[in-house]
């Protein structure tokens, strides 16, 4: 008798009603891709649970991978046995004995998903609790605050015994909410925005603006590494690298310095929107946090947004920097983001940028630039890299 199953619980997906099957299928696909390096496992998806049969695969590496899959609310290492009372008794006793139990308390929490099982839930709690007490020493019952909460779920296909939950990533399976373009800089904020967008089921493609020689190849590599890290949560990501030097220099020559950042952001948004159209995306995701910098005041956002009717999603809008950094550290992007290589926005930041720009003034300045032609030329020269989880770096080039 061995722990040879992992029970996966869906959480929010359980509220999806008639559409639940679509979400479950997507989650199963995402889990199968995530666990592709474990050839012996089997995945069984049911309406309200998913089961991973390990077939003697060490469980901890599998659990760690599953914790990165959106749509998984929690998971537990489980022991499976036949849905027969005597078999369940034996399995429950075996399960409890795997824990240090001298001086400990326990509780049996039974649940009958199979209502045809001939023993009621209360009777099952009593039978299993009594059997454990008779065959162990040092254990006592505490139904309110037990050290070991033994959960027994009786189903038609078998009975699963678990004790502890491991938290999952939560959210919705990536791919169930459509596709969006993530404006990915080399900073701390935008990778976190991408992570949170994927948590809501969005498939993302990333767009990065690259301005050589003002930004280096190492800055470009930092962004590739950030996108690569995000693939661990959302699967394959296409990274579109935009050659932005000519357009950026033209803006800074023509537009007054204190308004140049706003015009730059408007051009970046227009380019991202053109890429979105080509890739059949539905929205654009940014790492903006309200009031964090001059281009992220509400007045600035209104002027920048004016160039498109596409929905702009800002997952970080209400977060302060401390909260954003905490998420970045947890998901493994912070140490990449703080590499000392600047992106195209930071190197051209004006000394005193406008925090309350006037749209009419910005449009007036931009009229002296052939922006439509320059944007079309820039989009035509975009370089696209496809990144996959666990992909060796040398496969990208």
Q: Cite the annotated binding site for ATP by residue number.
A: 183-184, 208-209, 265, 287, 296
Q: Are 276 and 183 in contact (CB under 8 A)?
A: no
Tell me the pairing of strands 148-155 and 104-112.
parallel
Please tell me whether the peptide bond between 106 and the residue prior to it is cis, using omega within 30 degrees of 0.
Answer: no
Q: Are 219 and 184 in contact (CB under 8 A)?
A: no
Write down the residue that tokens 């690298």 correspond to: 241
Q: Which two tokens stand for residue 330?
A: 């947890």
How many of the other CB atoms lie within 10 Å of CB of 6? 24
Kindly tell me the sign of the dihedral angle through the C-alpha atoms of 236, 241, 242, 248: positive
Helix (H) or strand (E) holding 315: none
Q: How far from 326 is each of 40, 88, 290, 322, 390, CA to CA, in Å?
A: 36, 43, 18, 6, 24
How many of the other CB atoms lie within 10 Å of CB of 252? 16
Binding site, by residue number, is 183-184, 208-209, 265, 287, 296
Q: Are 54 and 41 in contact (CB under 8 A)?
A: yes
Q: Which two tokens stand for residue 233?
A: 């949560």
**Rounded to an integer, what distance in angstroms lies between the CA atom of residue 237 and that of residue 197?**
13
């Amino acid at each position: 008798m061995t722990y040879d199953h992992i029970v996966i619980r869906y959480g929010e997906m359980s509220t999806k009603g008639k559409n639940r099957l679509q979400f479950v299928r997507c989650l199963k696909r995402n889990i199968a891709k995530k666990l592709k390096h474990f050839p012996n496992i089997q995945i069984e998806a049911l309406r309200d649970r998913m089961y991973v049969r390990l077939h003697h695969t060490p469980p901890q590496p599998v659990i760690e991978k599953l914790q990165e899959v959106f749509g998984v609310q929690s998971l537990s290492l489980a022991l499976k046995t036949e849905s027969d009372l005597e078999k369940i008794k034996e399995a429950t006793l075996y399960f409890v004995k795997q824990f240090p139990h001298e001086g400990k308390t326990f509780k049996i929490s039974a649940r009958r998903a199979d209502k045809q099982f001939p023993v009621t839930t209360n009777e099952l709690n009593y039978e299993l609790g009594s059997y454990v007490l008779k065959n162990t020493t040092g254990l006592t019952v505490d139904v309110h605050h037990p050290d070991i909460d033994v959960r027994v779920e009786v189903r038609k296909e078998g009975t699963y015994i678990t004790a502890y939950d491991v938290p999952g990533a939560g959210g919705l399976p990536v791919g169930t909410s459509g596709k969006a373009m993530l404006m990915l800089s080399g900073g701390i904020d935008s990778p976190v925005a991408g992570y949170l967008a994927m948590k809501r089921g969005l498939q993302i493609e990333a767009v990065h603006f690259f301005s050589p020689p003002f930004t280096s190849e190492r800055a470009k590599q930092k962004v590739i590494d950030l996108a690569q890290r995000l693939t661990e949560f959302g699967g394959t990501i296409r990274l579109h690298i935009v050659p932005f030097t000519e357009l950026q220099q033209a803006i800074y020559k023509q537009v007054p310095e204190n308004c140049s950042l706003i015009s730059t952001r408007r051009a970046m948004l227009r380019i991202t929107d053109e890429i979105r159209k080509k890739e059949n995306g539905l929205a654009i995701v940014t790492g903006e946090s309200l009031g964090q910098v001059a281009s992220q005041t509400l007045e600035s956002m209104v002027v920048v947004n004016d160039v498109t009717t596409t929905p702009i999603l800002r997952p970080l809008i209400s977060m302060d920097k401390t909260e954003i950094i905490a998420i970045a550290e947890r998901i493994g992007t912070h140490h990449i983001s703080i590499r000392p290589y600047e992106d195209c926005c930071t190197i051209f930041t004006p000394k005193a940028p406008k925090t309350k720009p006037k749209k009419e003034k910005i449009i007036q300045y931009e009229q002296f630039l052939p922006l439509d032609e320059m944007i079309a030329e820039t989009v035509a020269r975009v370089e696209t890299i496809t990144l996959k989880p666990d992909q060796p770096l040398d496969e990208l080039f």
